[in-house]
Amino acid sequence: MADALQYFYSLIDPFFNLTPWEQLNKILGVLIFALLFSLMSKYLSRFKPEEELENTIKEIKRISELSRDALDVENYKMYAILQKQGNELIYHYYLLLTRGAMLEISPHLLGICISEIGLRRGAVFILPFTLPLVGNTIGGTIWYIVCAIIIHKFVFKSIKKLKTLHKGKAKI
């Protein structure tokens, strides 16, 4: 077990020893892992069942309309049957959404774990002031989340915008 852990550390350590400055190494190491696992998350997001989600929404709308019609003609038995089918479809829809979300978030959970192991529970930033509930240090988990949000919100959206500009679909 100790040999496996040493091997794992030998794989992670180069990402946390890029410069002579220890603090910068921590910042860059977590940033690199956030970038790698954000790319993995972006790739896995392609496997979300988008078509099945759309079909389920259409079916929910259709069942809802039929249910309304059954209620209008006072066919309460048919209304109850349609409501049950609609509820089952809504459950299926939320199940699909949850699977897609888990597919996208699982690389980040792994990234946070690996970053924390690489930091060996050290603080990434030591602040010159104290924040309520946080103290004067910011750890790897918070820094990873900040990096991942920045990467997803700004870098990936900018790349997408550049692609649409390049294809001539958008105007400057």
Helix (H) or strand (E) holding 127, with range, is strand 125-131
Instruction: Give the residue among 7, 15, 3, 46 at the shortest CA–CA distance from 111.
Output: 15
Please, which pLDDT band fits residue 64 given cuts at 50, 70 and 90? very high
Least-confidence region, from 67-81, 103-117, 124-138: 124-138
Burial per residue of 53-77, b for 16 or more beta-carbon CB atoms within 10 angstroms, e otherwise: eeebeeebeebeebbeebeeeeeee
Per-residue pLDDT of 126-139, as tens digits, reads 878 888 877 888 88
Q: What is the mean pLDDT of residues 100-125?
A: 85
